[in-house]
């Protein structure tokens, strides 16, 4: 177990790591995420006693690294794949490290086979690719068969086969009850490898939670709605109708709308009511990468995520459409909903509930069946005429079908909230 | 325990890089070849020498004349042994394996210094015997008073020069910076300071000026150097201790 308490590191007036406290537990892979320069490597070096913290402590199994008995047999680390003398053969490099730690020489050949470098063991590491360097570094970390393993960006430069291998290796090591601490700036990779995440930005802790918690808190469902390209006014009309119904509408670059806060059937109903044809209505999930980027982006500019309406109109393409009260593309918070602690309702929070339904008690309509019912009935009348190309029928049918969705309209408006708030 | 491990590891490291072979063999070849050449030239020029020079003619020193150049290769060896760790980043791997930094540094230096001493001794004896062979009747013998001390001293001098370089490299960490300071210093500056009258009194306390005193057998005329052969070597040892202490102090304190 690795435990950091109030870890702070300053270089001159630059603070690399500030007041970092976390625990890395055995038996699971802990991902250590942060953008470049966020202090990951500095933290790793402090764990290994290479850099002295300005304040705070970090211990492994209760000992600071420099006091840890038999440290190289307890802890293995890959800090930098290039930390090899280029003129030295791979095997000699590992042999010198093994001798340094009092590890028998036959272990060197074992780890060379584990990382698949046995054929180039006698070659100088100068000619190694970055991926081979990573394998050599991983071999060095495994030498002492340690209970605690630290890997700094182990998949950099690896081919897909190598990435898969590293992923499985980390999981296997953790499954054996070891403590595995892996840094990366790739959220997608960590989502597949790690069980627990520690996210830092600009040296400060942003998140310390399990991957499943991170996913449920940060992965955002949204609907992509596309209206006919030929009639921009339809898009505008739909957009205001959806906003009025409590949805959060963001324009996408290609002219589609990204809608959060409303279930698909409800969007369809609203479009129908507004007499807007749809070319696309599809469910999507914002990637964890986006959620992570938003989180790290907000490390310092956290307030701007909340108060972003000031810059709303700016990024819209020139002359494309009238300004809409939505956040612009590329701004923090555009991709994914705000963090849960901000409002507790990731989807609907940024837009205040408006219109006739806004005042209704949200929880009262928490019937899961309500959204399902219209979805079964309502989309079909639309779906059928459109492919068949029968415009005369389409206008005729909606009035007939209209009463049913219109009547149930107040109900589905609110079920979105309890659903999304989960 | 830890020291034994570091020594074994360092021996593997030092054997497995080409720079060790190159710098050390260059030390031997340059020192011996140049010493032999100058010995041969001295013999042919002896008759034309002024009397003053003939009186202080020191065949032992003549045979070590190649050391001025040969020691530069030894300096490169010493610098590379330490700075390779920093240049490649292996210092972090090493210090993670041996958190006792003093044990690491001094064991490392012990291995390199032992190797430098062995090579220095071989160089010293080879240069001496080949040089004396070239000098012929002008030469001296290993059994003459002070000669054996001078030959063994030349090996010690080589080892101390290497250790001094290691200490400097441990302080500066960069091979370029260390060599950029040490090479011109030992090749030019120290010689100038030690031989120009105005600076001689200070210059002769510089590590190589003081240390090379051990290789002298016949005193120079009008020599007022306040220390003897072993005293000079002692001064050099003090320099080496200072450099190593500085390297250790910085390594201990600094982030790796």
pLDDT of residue B113: 97
C-alpha–C-alpha distance, residues A402 and A269, integer Å: 9
Q: Which domain holds residue B184?
A: 2-253
Please tell me what DSSP assigns to residue A49: T
Q: Is residue B65 scored above 70 in pLDDT?
A: yes
The answer to whether the Cβ–Cβ distance between B13 and A86 falls below 8 Å is: no
Chain mean position to CA A104: 42
C-alpha–C-alpha distance, residues A244 and A257, integer Å: 15
C-alpha–C-alpha distance, residues A110 and A143, integer Å: 9
Chain B CB within 8 Å of residue A68 CB:
yes
pLDDT of residue B200: 85
Q: In A25-145, where do the E strands start and end?
A: 29-33, 55-60, 75-78
The answer to whether the Cβ–Cβ distance between A75 and B97 falls below 8 Å is: no
Specify the length of chain B in residues: 256
C-alpha–C-alpha distance, residues B71 and B160, integer Å: 10
SS3 A366: coil
Q: Please tell me which residue of chain A has the smallest CA distance to B96.
A: A48
Tell me which residue in B6, B90, B100 faces A84 most closely, judged by beta carbons.
B90
**Angle A131-A132-A138 from CA coordinates, rounded to 5°:** 90
CATH architecture group of domain A2-217: 3-Layer(aba) Sandwich (3.40)
Q: Looking at A48-57, A282-291, A380-389, B190-199, which range is the least confident one?
A: A380-389
Q: What does the pLDDT look like over A80-125, one tens digit per residue?
A: 888 889 899 999 999 999 999 999 999 999 999 999 999 999 999 8
CB A325 within 8 Å of CB A312: yes
Mean pLDDT across chain A, nearest whole number? 76
How many CB atoms lie under 10 A from the CB of residue A381? 20
C-alpha–C-alpha distance, residues B198 and A31, integer Å: 66
| Reported ipTM | 0.88
Longest Cα–Cα distance in chain A: 86
Chain B CB within 8 Å of residue A291 CB:
no
Q: What is the mean pLDDT of residues B149-157?
A: 96
Tell me which residue in B8, B16, B93 faces A92 most closely, judged by beta carbons.
B16
Rg (CA), chain B: 19
Instruction: Note if the pTM is more than 0.95.
Output: no
Chain B CB within 8 Å of residue A51 CB:
yes
**Angle A324-A325-A327 from CA coordinates, rounded to 5°:** 105
Written as six digits, the tokens of A250 are: 């963001």
The answer to whether the Cβ–Cβ distance between A96 and B16 falls below 8 Å is: yes
CB A248 within 8 Å of CB A326: yes
Q: What does the pLDDT look like over B194-232, one tens digit per residue?
A: 888 888 888 889 999 999 999 998 887 777 888 999 999
The answer to whether the Cβ–Cβ distance between A48 and B88 falls below 8 Å is: no
Closest approach of A124 to chain B, Cα-based (Å): 9
Tell me which residue in A84, A92, A98 faces B88 most closely, judged by beta carbons.
A84
Q: What does the pLDDT look like over A311-366, one tens digit per residue?
A: 565 555 556 555 444 444 444 444 544 444 443 333 433 333 444 443 334 333 43
C-alpha–C-alpha distance, residues B67 and B214, integer Å: 13
pLDDT of residue A301: 39
Chain B CB within 8 Å of residue A104 CB:
no
Closest approach of B248 to chain A, Cα-based (Å): 15
Chain A CB within 8 Å of residue B9 CB:
yes
Q: Is residue A273 scored above 80 in pLDDT?
A: yes
C-alpha–C-alpha distance, residues A261 and A272, integer Å: 18
Between B229-253 and B101-135, two packed helices, what is the crossing angle to 10 degrees?
Answer: 150
> How many folded domains does chain B comprise?
1
Please tell me what DSSP assigns to residue A89: B
Domain ranges, ordered by start, for chain A? 2-217, 219-421
Please tell me what DSSP assigns to residue A352: P
């Amino acid at each position: 177990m690795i435990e950091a308490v109030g870890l702070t590191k300053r270089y001159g007036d630059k603070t690399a790591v500030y007041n970092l406290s976390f625990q890395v537990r055995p038996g699971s892979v802990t991902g250590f995420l942060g953008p470049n320069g966020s202090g990951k490597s500095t933290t790793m070096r402090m764990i290994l006693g290479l850099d002295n913290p300005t304040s705070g402590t970090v211990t492994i199994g209760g000992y600071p690294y420099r006091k840890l008995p038999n440290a190289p047999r307890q802890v293995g680390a890959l800090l930098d794949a290039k930390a090899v003398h280029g003129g030295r053969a791979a095997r000699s490099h590992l042999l010198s490290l093994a001798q340094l730690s009092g590890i028998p020489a036959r272990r060197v050949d074992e780890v060379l086979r584990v990382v698949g470098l046995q054929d180039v063991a006698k070659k100088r590491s100068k000619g190694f690719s970055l991926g081979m360097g990573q394998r050599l570094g991983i071999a060095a970390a495994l030498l002492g068969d340690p209970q605690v393993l630290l890997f700094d960006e182990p998949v950099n430069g690896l081919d897909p086969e190598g990435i898969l291998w590293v992923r499985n290796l980390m999981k296997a090591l953790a499954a054996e009850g070891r403590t595995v601490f892996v840094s990366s700036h790739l959220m997608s990779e960590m989502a597949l490898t790690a069980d627990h995440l520690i996210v830092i930005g600009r040296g400060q802790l942003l998140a310390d939670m399990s991957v499943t918690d991170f996913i449920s808190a940060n992965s955002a469902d949204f609907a992509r709605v596309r209206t006919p390209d030929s009639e921009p006014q339809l898009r505008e009309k739909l957009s205001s109708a959806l906003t009025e119904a409590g949805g959060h509408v963001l324009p996408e670059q290609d002219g589609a709308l990204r809608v959060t806060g409303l279930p698909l059937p409800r969007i369809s109903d609203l479009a129908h009511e507004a007499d807007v044809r749809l070319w696309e209505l599809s469910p999507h999930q914002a990637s964890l990468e986006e959620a992570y980027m938003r989180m790290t982006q907000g490390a310092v500019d956290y307030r701007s995520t909340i108060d972003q309406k000031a810059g709303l109109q700016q990024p819209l393409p020139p002359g494309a459409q009238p300004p809409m009260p939505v956040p612009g593309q590329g701004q923090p918070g555009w991709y994914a909903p705000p963090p849960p602690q901000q409002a507790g309702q990731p989807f609907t929070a940024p837009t205040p509930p408006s219109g006739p339904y806004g005042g209704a008690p949200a929880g009262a309509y928490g019937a899961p069946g309500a959204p399902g019912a219209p979805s079964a009935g309502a989309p079909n009348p639309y779906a059928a005429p459109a492919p068949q190309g029968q415009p005369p029928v389409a206008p005729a049918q909606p009035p007939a079908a209209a009463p049913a969705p219109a009547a149930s309209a107040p109900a589905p408006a609110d079920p979105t909230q309890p659903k999304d708030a989960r | 325990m830890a020291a034994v491990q570091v020594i074994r590891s360092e021996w593997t490291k030092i054997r497995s890089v080409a720079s060790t072979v190159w710098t050390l063999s260059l030390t031997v070849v340059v020192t011996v070849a140049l010493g032999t050449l100058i010995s041969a030239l001295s013999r042919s020029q002896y008759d034309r020498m002024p009397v003053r020079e003939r009186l202080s003619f020191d065949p032992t020193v003549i045979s070590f004349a190649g050391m001025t150049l040969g020691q530069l290769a030894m300096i490169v060896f010493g610098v590379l042994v330490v700075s390779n760790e920093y240049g490649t980043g292996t210092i972090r791997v090493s210090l993670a394996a041996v958190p006792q930094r003093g044990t690491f540094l001094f064991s490392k230096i012990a291995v390199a210094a032992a190797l430098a001493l062995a090579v220095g001794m071989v160089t010293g004896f080879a240069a001496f015997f080949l040089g004396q062979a070239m000098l012929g009747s002008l030469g001296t013998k290993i059994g003459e008073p002070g000669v054996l001390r001078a030959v063994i001293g030349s090996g010690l001098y080589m080892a101390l020069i290497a250790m001094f370089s290691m200490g400097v490299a441990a302080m500066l960490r960069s091979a370029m910076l260390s060599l950029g300071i040490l090479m011109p210093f030992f090749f030019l500056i120290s010689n100038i300071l030690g031989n120009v009258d105005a600076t001689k009194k200070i210059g002769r306390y510089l590590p190589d000026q003081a240390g090379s005193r051990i290789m002298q057998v016949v005193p120079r005329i009008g020599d007022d150097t306040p220390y003897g052969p072993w005293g000079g070597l002692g001064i050099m040892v003090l320099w080496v201790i200072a450099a190593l202490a500085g390297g250790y102090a910085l390594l201990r304190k600094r982030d790796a």
